[in-house]
Amino acid sequence: MLNATMFAVEIGGGVMAGSQALQADALDFLGDTLTYGMSLAVIGLSLRVRATAALIKSATLAFMGLWVLGTTLWHALVLGTPRAEVMGLIGFLALATNAASVLILLKYKDGDANVRSVWLCSRNDAIGNIAVMLAAFGVWSTATGWPDVLVAAMIASLFLNSASKILRQALGEWRLMHKGRRTGELSGKLQTARRT
C-alpha cells in the first residue's frame, strides 16, 4: 500500500515538477507494488512457480529500465528545467517510505530469487530517492535540468542491473529444479532396475 500510494504521489509530482528523475522513481514504486504483490502470491508455492515469478519480475524491471532510458534520452533532447523544490520534497517522502520497507525486508535479503527481488527493489528505491534529492539540489544550484536527466539515467541502470541479478538467480533455480527432477528420475529408474 505504501508503494502504490507513493507511485501516485511521485508520478503526479514528477509531471507537476517536470522532473524525469521523479517519474523514473515513480516507475520504481510501481514495479515494487507489482513485485510485492506477486511475491506474496507465490510464497510457499513450488520452486517452479517462484522461479517463474522471478523471471517475470526480471523482464518487467528490464522493460522499465529501457523505458526510463528512452524517455531520459528524449528528455535530454528537449531539456527543460524541473522544479527543484517539488523534487526535493517528494524525494524526501519517497525516501522515508522506502527506508521503512528496507528495514522490514532486511532479514529476507538472501532468500530465493522471488524474495530477493523484493529486497533489491526496495534497496533500489532508497538509493534512487537519495539520488533524486541530490538531483533536486543540482537543479537548484545549476539552474539546469542535467542533474535530473543524469539521475533518471542512473535509476534506469539500477533497474537493468537488478533485472540481470534476478534473472541469473532465477535461471540458476530453474537449472537446480531440473537437475533435481532428473536425479529423481534416475533414482526411480535405479530402484526399478534393482527390484527386477
- How would residue 145 be classed by pLDDT, with cut points 50, 70 and 90? confident
pLDDT above 90 coverage of the chain, percent: 0
- How would residue 79 be classed by pLDDT, with cut points 50, 70 and 90? low
Angle of helix 84-105 versus helix 20-42 axis, rounded to 10: 20
- Quick one: cell of 40? 506474496
Question: Is 94:25 a contact under the CB 8 Å cutoff?
Answer: yes
Instruction: Provide mean pLDDT across the span 75-97.
Output: 76
Give residues with Cβ within 8 angstroms of 70, minimum separation 6.
none
Residue range of the domain that includes 42? 2-195
Residue 73 has pLDDT above 60, yes or no: yes
Nearest to 30 by CA among 59, 60, 74, 50: 60
The pLDDT score that the predictor gives to residue 184 is: 56
The pLDDT score that the predictor gives to residue 186 is: 44
Tell me, yes or no, if the pTM score tops 0.75.
Answer: no
pLDDT above 70 coverage of the chain, percent: 82
The pLDDT score that the predictor gives to residue 190 is: 43
The pLDDT score that the predictor gives to residue 183 is: 56
- Quick one: cell of 124? 533500489
Name which residue leads in pLDDT, 95 or 123. Answer: 95
CB hemisphere CA count around 24 (13 angstroms): 33
Burial class of residue 107, CB neighbours in 10 A (0-12, 13-18, 19+): exposed
Nearest to 83 by CA among 31, 37, 120, 132: 132
- How would residue 114 be classed by pLDDT, with cut points 50, 70 and 90? low
Domain count, the chain: 1
Residue 33 has pLDDT above 70, yes or no: yes
